[in-house]
Chain A
Amino acid sequence: MIPTEAIMRKMGGAMDEHGDGQTRRGLLKAAGTIAAGYAAAIVVRPAQATPEQMRAAMRNVVGAAPVRKGRVEIELPALVENGNTVSLVVTVDSPMTAGDYVKTIHVFAEKNPQPNVIGVHLGPRAGRAKISTRIRLADTQTVIAIAEMSDGSFWSAAMDVIVTLPACVETE
């Protein structure tokens, strides 16, 4: 029996807690197959970025320039305990001198409701192109980092992450 939205709301706010649309996505798929009587109560919301949206977000940064794999390293736990707070470290191989440095680092998550995660502007004053933060990941997915160098070239790396949730999820 596929749960309807009313039943899922009664089960509590847990599905809202994570700021992700993943259960709502499953729900909407299921809702589409249920009788028309329920359809009126359901509002369609964008629950997940499409691959097109992520490509468009990346094009915004890169334009028409080619993006080469390499020089960028992503550190993420392979198995995430909780998608609410995931430690992310991005390191770019660069001497960070006045003539050769990292200008920007952009991070994307393909299955979040919105593909952009962060855009960082560095410069030769950074000394080291290594940034660390904590991000939200809505689902098991691929995270992509693109670095723009001072010579206008783009380099990227991608990493697959498995996202789990704690077993006995809070509902209030």
Chain B
Amino acid sequence: MTQITQRWACGGALLAVFCLAATLAASAEIPLDQRRSSYDLMSRETRAMQDDDAANPGMLWVLDGEALWRAKTGTADKTCADCHGEAADSMKGVAARYPAFDTASGRAVDLEQRINICRRDKQNASPLAYESKDLLALTTYVARQSRGMPIESAADERLKPIVETGRVLFTRRQGQLNLSCAQCHDDNWRQKLAGSPLTQAQPTGYPLYRLEWQTVGSLQRRLRNCLIGMRAEPYAYGSPEYVALETYLMWRARGLKLETPAVRP
């Protein structure tokens, strides 16, 4: 199928789904015991790429992140290691409970924002932009330290209102197709959309290497892709809407194991 045909087919298929879903009741959450990582829906070859550290392209970003962890930066001339020591010890479990509540600002922050807060406050360094090589490398390196651990995000009571905001964003209709995230990812995740399996959208492996991007990218980048694909207006990187969505999605994925760095098509 050519790309353009694919895109029209996507829109057409989405319309078909929408018509079907419109006749059903409001989207229901996936029962806890039926939740699955998208890993289960991938081809054998893509899974093999993720499973082998010697072949997983995301590992190149982990290596880069390790070098950055030990590099002096900012006018304070400090490395991450100066405060945090070995990441394998200090960062174990951290990514599995992000986004987290930042007491100083009274808001939820994702891992990328936490790294930038540290850079600003402790290293006197300028913030790294979303999707920049350095921020992706550091985030992937930190998240890698929680690989295999169950996601425990948003267990903090203070995050409850942000989880709710995220849930509203996930379940409300939006964009030119008047479609909600939930209509595909809660209600129709067993089906196929234009030949590709519809996943449950559990963000178990971020930052991940997406074959489509041919590079590692963040969950916010993936959410942008979704919104554009749905013909809805994407938010700006770092916006509270994205962080609320990330918080809700990670809460929705609680108990599933973190896979960073994952590989996805």
Chain A residues packing against B (C-beta within 8 Å): 3, 8, 11-12, 14-15, 17-18, 22-23, 26, 77, 79, 81-82, 84-87, 164-172
Q: Known contacts A17-B212, A18-B3, A81-B265; is A167 also within 8 Å of B225 by CB?
A: no
Q: Known contacts A81-B265, A84-B214; is A167 also within 8 Å of B196 by CB?
A: yes
Is the Cβ of B193 less than 8 Å from the Cβ of A77? no
- Closest 9 CB pairs between A and B? A168-B229, A81-B265, A82-B211, A167-B194, A167-B193, A87-B45, A170-B225, A85-B211, A82-B265
Chain B residues packing against A (C-beta within 8 Å): 1-4, 6-7, 9-10, 13, 42-46, 48-49, 193-196, 198, 211-214, 224-226, 228-230, 265
Min CB distance, A171 to chain B, in Å? 5
- What does DSSP make chain A's interface, helix, strand, loop or mixed? loop
Question: CA separation between A22 and B195, bound complex, in Å?
Answer: 18
Min CB distance, A101 to chain B, in Å? 26
Q: Known contacts A17-B212, A81-B196, A82-B211; is A165 also within 8 Å of B228 by CB?
A: no
Chain B residues with Cβ below 8 Å from A79 are 43
Is the Cβ of A164 less than 8 Å from the Cβ of B3? no
Question: CA separation between A22 and B212, bound complex, in Å?
Answer: 16
Question: CA separation between A18 and B4, bound complex, in Å?
Answer: 13
Q: Known contacts A8-B4, A81-B42, A84-B214; is A168 also within 8 Å of B195 by CB?
A: no
Chain A residues with Cβ below 8 Å from B196 are 81, 164-167
| Number of A-B residue pairs at CB separation under 8 A | 85
Chain A residues with Cβ below 8 Å from B43 are 77, 79, 81
Chain A residues with Cβ below 8 Å from B230 are 168
- 28 A-B residue pairs with Cβ-Cβ distance under 8 Å, sorted by A, are A8-B4, A11-B7, A22-B2, A22-B3, A77-B43, A77-B45, A81-B42, A81-B43, A81-B211, A81-B265, A82-B212, A85-B49, A85-B211, A87-B48, A164-B194, A166-B196, A166-B212, A167-B9, A167-B194, A167-B196, A168-B225, A168-B228, A168-B229, A168-B230, A169-B10, A169-B229, A170-B213, A170-B225
Question: CA separation between A53 and B225, bound complex, in Å?
Answer: 37
Is the Cβ of A3 less than 8 Å from the Cβ of B4? yes
Chain B residues with Cβ below 8 Å from A169 are 3, 6-7, 10, 212, 229
